[in-house]
Chain A
Amino acid sequence: MPVISVQDLNYQVGEQKILSDISFDIAQGEYVALVGPNGGGKTTLVKVLLGLITPNSGKIKILGSLKKRFKKCYKVGYVPQNVSLFDSNFPLSVYETVALGLAGKKPWFSFLSSEDKEMIEMALQKASITHLKDKNLSQLSGGQRQRVMIARALVSSPEILILDEPSTGVDIVSQQKFYQFLKSLNIDHKLTIIFITHDLGVIADDVTYVLSINQKLVFSGTAQEMLNCESASELYGIKSHVVGHHCSSHAC
């Protein structure tokens, strides 16, 4: 059974179509890159999957339940775009931030149980930021904040993790480390991961599935199939050639 199933999804604002007839399935444990040009509808698609935007038509199933009836939102972790741009004066420690990830799961008038505290420690460990737990967000680098937000998303033990352009504002070396970390989460914890990226080079080696969106679903398949120049050309509307090598690939 796919963890995410989308059928005939349409979303438009006024007369302008943003997403048109999009259908795909994502199986459990996939490591999925969502690619496409700016304005192609990637972030909108993610917001529809998260329930932040209601589509005009189409059927979405998350973990086997129709999205409209899906109540276990904590089973889908989300890391938004531009984490490094968060208000640096916001007085939150790393520990407090990660604990927020349990807020959707816990009822009103409930405090952190010893089990919750264990889950927070585990999430800090998974994101390799235990040593930072007493620091305030304002004291962290962009890459460290990114990991904090991932720990926050992981603390509720999600089955799916969605990240919107997670490497924005992170330097190339940190990017590589970050994607290795993401891949290890996918393999070690059997977590289905979907991330938006503009960097075709990043997706080539590790991702198991690629979704290319440009209002419509231009391509879905493996990364190797994506390296076909025609797909990339159709996606970006320009003649492109993708060069693959042992550690990365890039479109030109």
Chain B
Amino acid sequence: MFEIFEYEFMQRAFIVGISLSILTAVLGSFIVLKRYAMLPDALSHIALLGVGIGLVTHTSPIYIPIIVAAIAGVAIEYLRYKKQLYSDAILSIFLSGALALAIILINLSDGFNASLFAYLFGSITAVSNEEMIITVGFTIFGLLLLLGSYRKLLFVTLDEETAKASGIEVFGLNLMLVVLSAITVALAMRIVGILLIGALMVLPISTALLYKENFLKSLAMATLFSLVSVIMGLLISFYLGLSSGAAIVLVALLFFIVSLFLNW
């Protein structure tokens, strides 16, 4: 049974998957409660633009998507908070604009190839040592920031206006949340895939919310659902030769459906 861990690529996939499952669950919890569930989808398509730039310019497939997604995250939050534009409209504009640009850039490069397929749907063999180190380091950094600002961020998530009135730096915290999400999405696209990362951020907390517990319990449940989904998804992917992103998301979806019936 443990022969799976004899493969280095599986060790890397598990380390990255477990790191990201915790970070996406925590970030996803705040994002869903802010009614911002479209954000990961928009950011993942923006990360695809980064992949397109990387393919055309033959530059780093790791760093360019991270940089592009983070810059777009800042722009999205600026337009939403400072310019008071509707968040769903901004996300839709960024999503379609980034996708259109990405398609053109991919056309300009070698076109649709196997490596792009791995970016879209995730692949357990795709994670390099460098990506693993960056992902684990960033997960620790992200979780520390979220832990340090937990109560302030929760207040902002519940009620931005009252949070601001009590002296909390609302824009800064929102910006932190969006940029952390952008970088997480860019890192997770290798293993979960651009088209499926949004589901991994939204499904665990949506499942946890069905149990109507308080915030801390909901957060713990979301993290557990996410962790188990990723581990089971990776095992399924390895043994059945399926796309890792699809397997992970289907397990998370299964948890949601079962919980829905349990709490009907």
- Show the binding face of A for B, using Cβ within 8 Å: 50-52, 71-74, 76, 78-80, 86-87, 89-93, 95-97, 99-106, 108-109, 136, 138, 156
Most buried by B among A89, A90, A103, A109: A103
Q: Does B8 contact A (CB under 8 A)?
A: no
The residue that B165 contacts in the complex, of A52, A97, A100, with Cβ under 8 A, is A52
B149 near A73 with CB under 8 A, answer: no
Closest approach, in angstroms, between the C-beta of B170 and any C-beta of chain A? 10
A96 touches B148 (CB 8 A): no
Within 8 A of A (CB), among B145-187: 147-149, 151-152, 154-155, 158-159, 161-168
Across the interface, B151 reaches (CB within 8 A) one of A71, A72, A103, namely A103
Asked whether B166 lies within 8 Å of A101 as measured between CB atoms, the reply is yes
Residues of B within 8 A of A50 (CB): 165
Contact partner, B167, options A71, A80, A89, A91, Cβ 8 Å: A71
Residue among A87, A90, A104, A109 making CB contact with B168, cutoff 8 Å: A104
Is the pair A96, B215 in contact by a Cβ cutoff of 8 Å?
yes
Contacts of A71 in B (CB 8 A): 167
A103 and B161 in contact (CB under 8 A), knowing A91-B209, A96-B216, A109-B148?
Answer: no
Whether the Cβ atoms of B167 and A73 lie closer than 8 Å is yes
- Excluding A51-B164, A104-B155, A105-B167, 11 further A-B contacts by CB distance (< 8 Å) are A74-B166, A74-B167, A78-B166, A86-B159, A90-B158, A91-B213, A91-B214, A96-B154, A99-B151, A100-B155, A103-B166
C-alpha spacing A205/B151, complex, angstroms: 40
Q: Give A49's nearest chain B residue, CB to CB.
A: B165
Closest partner residue, chain A, to B168 (CB atom): A104
Pair B161/A100 contact, Cβ less than 8 Å? no
**Beta-carbon contact of B215 and A73 below 8 Å:** no
Cβ of B218 < 8 Å from any Cβ of A? yes
Measured between alpha carbons, how far is A138 from B213 in the docked complex, in Å?
A: 10
* A150 CA / B256 CA spacing, docked (Å): 35
* Contacts A/B (CB < 8 Å), 18 sampled: A52-B165, A72-B167, A80-B159, A86-B158, A87-B33, A89-B209, A90-B33, A91-B212, A91-B217, A92-B215, A96-B214, A96-B215, A103-B154, A103-B168, A104-B163, A104-B167, A108-B148, A136-B213
Interface size on B, as a range, is 20 to 34
The minimal Cβ–Cβ distance linking A70 to chain B, given in whole angstroms, is: 9
B133 to chain A, nearest CB (A): 25
**Cβ-defined contact, B214 with A103, below 8 A:** no
Determine the chain B residues whose CB is within 8 A of the CB of A93 once the complex forms. Answer: 214-215
Whether A156 pairs with B212 at a CB distance below 8 angstroms is no
Chain A contacts for B155, CB-based, 8 A: 100, 103-104
A72 contacts across to B, CB distance below 8 A: 167
Tell which of A87, A99, A108, A156 touches B166, judged by Cβ atoms closer than 8 Å.
Answer: A156
Question: What chain B residues lie within 8 Å of A136 (beta carbons)?
Answer: 212-214
Q: Which of A79, A96, A103 contacts B163 (CB 8 A)?
A: A103
Contact residues in B for A156 (Cβ distance below 8 Å): 166
Whether the Cβ atoms of A100 and B151 lie closer than 8 Å is: yes
Least CB distance, B70 to chain A, in whole angstroms:
21
Shortest Cβ distance from residue A195 to the other chain B in the assembled complex, whole angstroms: 15
Tell me the bound Cα distance from A136 to B209 in angstroms.
12
Check B152 against A103 for contact (C-beta < 8 Å).
Answer: yes
Bound complex: CA A90 to CA B156 (Å): 13
Tell me if B166 and A73 are in contact (CB < 8 A).
Answer: yes
Please give me the residue from chain B that is nearest to A102 by CB atom. B151
A91's partner among B148, B152, B166, B215 (CB-CB below 8 A) is B215
Q: Please state if B166 and A80 are interface contacts (CB–CB under 8 Å).
A: no
- The residue in chain B whose Cβ has the minimal distance to the Cβ of A152 is B162
CB distance from B149 to the nearest CB of A (A): 6
> How many angstroms from the CA of A100 to the CA of B167 in the assembled complex?
12
Do B212 and A138 have beta carbons less than 8 Å apart?
yes
Interface string of B197-213 (1 = CB under 8 A from A): 00000000000110011
CA–CA, A106 and B163, complex, Å: 13
List chain A residues, Cβ under 8 A from B209.
Answer: 89, 91
Chain A residues in 8 Å Cβ range of B208: 91
Q: Please name all residues of chain A whose beta carbon is closer than 8 Å to the beta carbon of B162 when the two chains form the complex.
A: 78-80
B161 and A80 contact, CB distance less than 8 A? yes
A183 to chain B, nearest CB (A): 23
Enumerate chain B residues within 8 angstroms of A74, measured Cβ to Cβ: 166-167
Cβ-defined contact, B158 with A92, below 8 A: yes
